[in-house]
Structure 1
Amino acid sequence: MDKLQQNFIRVRKLLDITFFRILFFVLLGIALYGGLFSNVKPEKMDISLFSVAEKTIRSPGTVEDKKSTEKKREEAADQVQDVYTLKKEYTQNRVDLITSIFNAASEVNDEVKESGKKQDASSADHLTEVSIEDKVSMLKGKLTSTVTKDLSNLVFTALVQSGKDELSIAKDLTVTAINNVMTKRIPSDEVENAKKRVEEELRYSTLNDNLRSASIELGRYAVIQNEFYDPAATEELRQQASESVEPVKILQGQIIVEEGELINQEIFRQLKLVGLLNNEKAYKPFIGLAVLIVIFITALYYYFYQMKLLPEKRQTFLLLFGIIFIMTIALMKIMSLLQVYNYSWIGYLFPATMAGLLLKILIDEKLAILSSIIFSICGSILFNEGVTGTLNFSEGIYILFSALAGILFLSNQNHRSKILQAGLFAAFINLMTILALLFLPNGQFSSVEYGYFFIAALVSGIGSAVLTIGFLPFFEASFSILSTMRLIELSNPNHPLLRKILMEAPGTYHHSVMVANLAESACEAIGANGLLARVGSYYHDIGKTRRPNFFIENQLHRENPHDRLTPEKSANIIIAHVLDGAAILKKDHMPKEIIEIAEQHHGTSLLKFFYHKAMQNNAEVREEDFRYPGPKAQSKESAVVGIADSVEAAVRSLNNPTPELIEDLVRKIVSDRLQDGQLNECDLTLKEIETVSHTLCETLKGIFHSRIEYPEFTKKVVKQA
């Protein structure tokens, strides 16, 4: 184990260098790419045209069939009928034309009458009558050549021979008939029928025969085609019909060819379209996988980059994470290879909670959640056998829920004994998740298959807990990691070393408990590890068990042995408890952080009592001989434990500790430590030191608060009569 730790230390030192740290993440990405490569590689199918399919083939993804889409759009456009537009203005134009003809006839008759009146007034001898032919000529002169050419002379003759009232009636009847017919659509092939309808309307009018015939001819002449083909509107409708057609898609999971079916040209085209033919040169899945892994690695690199930890601890966590990450992916890959046996439940056996529990306990809850998301996506790729597409979403959801269940269960449960409970809780969540995933798509499974799924869920949850318990000691010992669970175990009063302090130095034990309370509250106030400070306080004076009677808290009104010793020897005995404590802790293989607190809680401070006593006897005493060997406090926890140790001992020595005395004493001790340089090597800020001082004062005031003096009750003897 020592050799393994040395190798880890060498690798950890390399990770301090930015180049090797980046290289570490690159290698992590390459390993992940290698594990997932075969699961995204497109399946190569040896299929030829007009051969018989050996198995049912489904589409691996959703693809638009552009050829079928275009064909359907053409069919939709062809089904659109031609658009014909009704020209309503044609009706008014033709009515106006016929009206103008009748008006022109009336004007001719009026002009002839006016001319006759003038002749009567001038001379009756020269009276000449206007002939019908002249009237017709006059009428034609008022009309266009087209009208005069299209209409027969019988029409003009009948009009000029009719009176004003007759013309008015004929005009109204003719216009009405034209309106009735031309308000309806008249295509080119219905013009003659429309003319006949006008003729039928006018045939039974009360007009005289000549005028009726003229009206009929004028009506037929007026009726023309008023419905015409509209190419623009037709094209617009065809375009709309074409665009309304939804794209034809070959959906993911859609059966392209059934087993035993002949592969015709259409099926062959579809197989080629979805990428199942000639896919040995497919590169998109590999690019997609590379991009996905780059996202994963970038997220992980950023997470470790922004971790506010000492470089040594951050690199330790990085190396530990890399091992757990590779181990999890490797286990997932091995289990995915068992899918060749067509067991649909094999992926649910994977201990999905294990990695999350290990990372939560050993490193950090946020990293555990981030890693669980990554593992769930990787699992959906690795366990994709028997599903269409690259991702098995059911497996991914299962892994994510299982991992989160274990992580969240341990959020406030840090005892090692709770790991098994977390596994059982994860197994319950696994059962619920599988139940949901099987029932949502209305899956049809036999009772035996349901049994396999549920057993896999239980094995996954409980197996995760068992593996976590098995791996934890290895990682804690190999990486010298002091986890929260380990700290809680060390704080157990039944721990052999704590029982040793209690039995051999009870005063020191009580002092250590008091220091633990002070140090924990102060560390939590500044954001340091309060639990580490508490546990470190329990063991910081274990060296006093070598010579418990030489420390005042254990003398219990006995004679002080220092009264018989020289100051130099007494100082050596007191100083030795630091070295003895470190030796005892190292022998018992205690965590490095606990040993460091025991070594550093006095730093290189001066034993003032014995130093001044020696100065009274010998003026040439060296100050260095009365200082602790150190080192000075290197962490916030060590510094706070040292301050709390001095403060507790000093306040205990007060006969009547008042809040004012306590505050003055605490600030004097902290000031002395600052001036003596005992806090120079830790990262405590002045603001944090002030917070520590205030917290210690408040805690001590609560411990040494004033109490009510209860009066004595005298017993009175009641004499019986």
Structure 2
Amino acid sequence: MKDFINNLYRNHSLIYKGLLFVSTTILIVYLFPKSGKFKYNFEKGKPWQSENLYAPFDFAIKKTAEEISAEKKVITDNSVLYFNVDETVVEKVREAYKNEFREVFHDSIFKKELPKIYDLGELIINELYAFGVLNENYDVSEESSVVILDGRVEKQKTVFSNLIKQDAVKETIDKLLIDNNLENLKTDFVSLFFDLVEPNLIFDKSFTERALKEELDKISYARGSIEKGTLIVSKGEVVEGDKFQKLNSLKSEYESQVWSKSNYIWVLFAYTLLVALALLMLLLFLRKYRVTVFENNTKVTFIFFNIFLMILITTLVINYNAKYIYVVPICILPLVFKAFFDARLGLFAHVITVLLLGFIVPNSYEYMFLQIIAGIVTILTVSELYKRANLFISVGQITLIYIVAYFAFFVIHEGTIETIKWETFIWFVLCGLATLFVQPLIYIYEKLFGLVSDVSLLELSDTNSKLLKELSNKAPGTFHHSLNVANLAESSANEIGANAMLVRVGALYHDIGKMKNPTYFTENQSTGINPHDELSSKESARIITDHVINGIEIAKKHNLPDRVIDFIRTHHGTSVVYYFYMKEKNDYEDVDKLEFSYPGPKPFSKETAILMMCDSIEAASKSLKEPTSTKIDAFVENIIDKQIEEGQFLNANITFKEIQSIKKVLKHKLANIYHLRIEYPE
């Protein structure tokens, strides 16, 4: 059991990567469509490129969206409106009319015509309530069919124009008075019925909508069927009209058919294999070509997280509306990876992501071609991301590539530009604008994952920063030394293609530990008093070597990135404080060399190795007396060869050829610094 636990502990990094690999694969497969995928590609108006296609099973020919929309419009326009009638209203109005009639029409004035006038009032009531009086005005067609319900039972059918609107009551009364030659009673009748007439029809909205839904549900989405084995399209035949609709119907049926449990599991298994294969290729690439990245679980997690994030965002956009697919700024991916790692890793991860997206996007070939070309342009054009102008120029170039490539594809598909969808170009412009979000995104990632980009390095290289100002005030000699080392290291890094910005920042901060005891270092001793004179060799050596530990503590206190702290740890490697070691050796025979050695570790990258060389050369160059070209060459050779003999560069991925190039740069720089001047007369 103990051995098993020990094995787990020793292999915890690989176990973590395995779990990350499996979980990312599952999450990506979860986002994929779980139906079958139609294996033929076809376009309207283009010849059928494959062999003769026969129906693999019986299927219905689906109507087009336009046909279904037209049918729905006809049904909606001719839908029946349902009104509930209140039968008690008519009787109430009649009763009120009897009571009010005598008050309005006195016997003495209308004695002879009183029966005729009364009957006219009854006629008006009958006319008004023949179909009913509406409780409000409705904005519907006059020809709309109407069904009047009495307790949910159909009472009568009519059209909407036969129903009396509120503002049409007076008009109805006037018409009947004119027809019966009693226009002189208009004012009396209008005033009489103004208070008597009540609406008895109320629109039943819920019943009407339910009836409309039932009618819409009866729409057939198919217009015929195709039997198994029927020829659908022949090779070379132009796909248009009915054939195009048949192919679309077959594709839709194939992709949306209900899968059995066994089929579903097979599809799921196949997707898992392909996704796992793609992610495995990425891991193998890291293992073979980016070992430092592979061994850092945080960085591997960061890469997998970004790939999954892009697939998730793209899936959400497709589920919302596939026409916005090109708004998703996929090119952020290579930009981010290039900022934190390098161009080759950025392009490789980008291609893997685009290949995975090919499973879920429409027109997958066109999409993948556009995105891979855009990714290549991103990698080729974006350099020095911390310069804002470079980012804007690159985004403009990426947007232009999108537009040109899409235009070319459209012309190939349609053979004309007359029907081109210009709004798609707007999506590309929006995609370009969204790509500019990479700057704040890089900042967020730096805080979340503890990574360092060139943007942060540029900020750290500012000599007006709080920490470097403190170094300048407390240890001015050390600060000046650091500036000189930074210049030498930057030139050396540029010569061999290393990260010049990183090594410059590392050089600026590598000696910040000397702030704790600045006067114990010769470059800060301006008074001629050496405090080491009062200390033993061991105590002096301990103070000198402790500036590494002190530097790490100060760096962590000021939240410097680990990549910068690595320079503080390694800039002396495991070398010996030679002056005090030899001094102790002169006094005592038995001397422990470890007590006079730096704690290490040794440099483990090109950049940290460059700093060790430049730091030693710059510090020791102060002891050169009457420097000449020959002395400088021998001086540089001796110091760096001694570091090689001590094995200080065994862990760094730096070659002898690169070391020779660095020596050449250092010799040239020192020759410029110590060049002989002519003696001017006083």
Is the structural similarity TM-score above 0.5? yes
Measured after TM superposition, the shift of residue 415 of structure 1 is: 4.1
Match of 2:108 in 1: none
Measured after TM superposition, the shift of residue 329 of structure 1 is: 0.3
Query: CA 1:457–1:628 in 2, change beyond 3 Å: closer, same or farther?
Result: same
Instruction: Give the conservation status (yes or no) of the 8 Å contact 2:334–2:378.
Output: yes
Alpha-carbon distance between aligned partners in 2 of 1:607 and 1:664, rounded to the nearest angstrom: 22
1:431-450 deviation digits (Å, cap 9, x = unpaired): 5555555666346569xx74
Match of 1:368 in 2: 346
Match of 1:346 in 2: 324
Instruction: Give the conservation status (yes or no) of the 8 Å contact 1:424–1:462.
Output: no
Instruction: Give the conservation status (yes or no) of the 8 Å contact 2:606–2:653.
Output: yes
In structure 2, give the amino acid aligned to 1:603.
G
- Are 2:542 and 1:546 equivalent residues in the alignment? no
In structure 2, give the amino acid aligned to 1:307.
Y
In structure 2, give the amino acid aligned to 1:712.
P
Tell me the TM-score normalized by structure 2. Answer: 0.61
- Quick one: which of 1, 14, 17 aligns to 1:16? 14
Measured after TM superposition, the shift of residue 581 of structure 1 is: 1.3
Match of 1:641 in 2: 611
Instruction: Give the conservation status (yes or no) of the 8 Å contact 1:402–1:461.
Output: no
Measured after TM superposition, the shift of residue 571 of structure 1 is: 3.3
The 5 Å alignment of 1:161-180 reads none
Alpha-carbon distance between aligned partners in 2 of 1:277 and 1:486, rounded to the nearest angstrom: 49
- Quick one: which of 437, 460, 474 aligns to 2:431? 460
- Quick one: which of 682, 697, 700 aligns to 2:667? 697
Match of 2:635 in 1: 665
Alpha-carbon distance between aligned partners in 2 of 1:353 and 1:662, rounded to the nearest angstrom: 49
Query: CA 1:39–1:368 in 2, change beyond 3 Å: closer, same or farther?
Result: farther
Query: CA 1:51–1:551 in 2, change beyond 3 Å: closer, same or farther?
Result: closer
Structure 1 or 2, whichever has the larger Rg, is 1
Measured after TM superposition, the shift of residue 412 of structure 1 is: 4.7
- Are 2:291 and 1:309 equivalent residues in the alignment? yes
In structure 1, give the amino acid aligned to 2:292.
L
Alpha-carbon distance between aligned partners in 2 of 1:398 and 1:529, rounded to the nearest angstrom: 31
Measured after TM superposition, the shift of residue 369 of structure 1 is: 2.4
Instruction: Give the conservation status (yes or no) of the 8 Å contact 2:502–2:607.
Output: yes
In structure 2, give the amino acid aligned to 1:32.
I
Match of 1:37 in 2: 33
Deviates more, 1:363-372 or 1:555-564: 555-564
Match of 1:334 in 2: 316
Query: CA 1:494–1:457 in 2, change beyond 3 Å: closer, same or farther?
Result: farther
- Are 2:601 and 1:631 equivalent residues in the alignment? yes
Q: Secondary structure at the match of 2:243?
A: strand
Q: Secondary structure at the match of 1:585?
A: helix
User: Which segments of 5 or more consecutive residues in structure 1 lack a partner in the other structure?
Assistant: 1-9, 59-64, 70-246, 259-266, 385-390, 714-721
Query: CA 1:408–1:711 in 2, change beyond 3 Å: closer, same or farther?
Result: same
1:226-248 deviation digits (Å, cap 9, x = unpaired): xxxxxxxxxxxxxxxxxxxxx54
- Are 2:233 and 1:256 equivalent residues in the alignment? no
Match of 1:706 in 2: 676
Tell me the TM-score normalized by structure 1. Answer: 0.58
Q: Secondary structure at the match of 1:581?
A: helix
Q: Secondary structure at the match of 1:352?
A: coil
Query: CA 1:276–1:549 in 2, change beyond 3 Å: closer, same or farther?
Result: closer
- Quick one: which of 353, 372, 383 aligns to 1:411? 383
Q: Secondary structure at the match of 1:609?
A: helix
- Quick one: which of 337, 361, 372 aligns to 1:359? 337
1:645-668 deviation digits (Å, cap 9, x = unpaired): 122221221121112222332333
The 5 Å alignment of 1:35-74 reads 35-38=31-34, 41=37, 55=67, 67=231
Query: CA 1:632–1:367 in 2, change beyond 3 Å: closer, same or farther?
Result: closer
Measured after TM superposition, the shift of residue 364 of structure 1 is: 2.7
Instruction: Give the conservation status (yes or no) of the 8 Å contact 1:28–1:322.
Output: yes
Query: CA 1:416–1:303 in 2, change beyond 3 Å: closer, same or farther?
Result: farther
Match of 1:610 in 2: 580
In structure 2, give the amino acid aligned to 1:545.
M
Q: Secondary structure at the match of 1:519?
A: helix
In structure 2, give the amino acid aligned to 1:599.
R
Instruction: Give the conservation status (yes or no) of the 8 Å contact 1:66–1:248.
Output: no
- Aligned residues with identical type, % of pairs: 26
In structure 1, give the amino acid aligned to 2:524.
N
Measured after TM superposition, the shift of residue 512 of structure 1 is: 1.5
Alpha-carbon distance between aligned partners in 2 of 1:571 and 1:637, rounded to the nearest angstrom: 26
Alpha-carbon distance between aligned partners in 1 of 2:63 and 2:433, rounded to the nearest angstrom: 48
Instruction: Give the conservation status (yes or no) of the 8 Å contact 1:317–1:363.
Output: no
- Are 2:543 and 1:573 equivalent residues in the alignment? yes
Instruction: Give the conservation status (yes or no) of the 8 Å contact 1:376–1:397.
Output: no
1:83-121 deviation digits (Å, cap 9, x = unpaired): xxxxxxxxxxxxxxxxxxxxxxxxxxxxxxxxxxxxxxx
Alpha-carbon distance between aligned partners in 1 of 2:34 and 2:581, rounded to the nearest angstrom: 75
Measured after TM superposition, the shift of residue 354 of structure 1 is: 1.7
The 5 Å alignment of 1:233-248 reads 247-248=234-235
Instruction: Give the conservation status (yes or no) of the 8 Å contact 2:488–2:614.
Output: yes
1:487-528 deviation digits (Å, cap 9, x = unpaired): 333223333323333343332222122222333444555665
Match of 1:211 in 2: none
Instruction: Give the conservation status (yes or no) of the 8 Å contact 1:372–1:403.
Output: yes
User: Which segments of 5 or more consecutive residues in structure 2 lack a partner in the other structure?
Assistant: 1-7, 40-54, 69-220, 223-228
Alpha-carbon distance between aligned partners in 1 of 2:273 and 2:593, rounded to the nearest angstrom: 65
Measured after TM superposition, the shift of residue 331 of structure 1 is: 0.6
- Are 2:506 and 1:536 equivalent residues in the alignment? yes
Measured after TM superposition, the shift of residue 538 of structure 1 is: 1.3
Alpha-carbon distance between aligned partners in 1 of 2:359 and 2:26, rounded to the nearest angstrom: 16
1:566-609 deviation digits (Å, cap 9, x = unpaired): 54444343233222211111111112122122122223333233
Match of 1:399 in 2: 371
Alpha-carbon distance between aligned partners in 1 of 2:301 and 2:405, rounded to the nearest angstrom: 33
Query: CA 1:658–1:39 in 2, change beyond 3 Å: closer, same or farther?
Result: farther
Q: Secondary structure at the match of 1:306?
A: helix
Alpha-carbon distance between aligned partners in 2 of 1:11 and 1:372, rounded to the nearest angstrom: 33
Instruction: Give the conservation status (yes or no) of the 8 Å contact 1:353–1:423.
Output: no
Query: CA 1:275–1:585 in 2, change beyond 3 Å: closer, same or farther?
Result: same
Measured after TM superposition, the shift of residue 330 of structure 1 is: 0.6
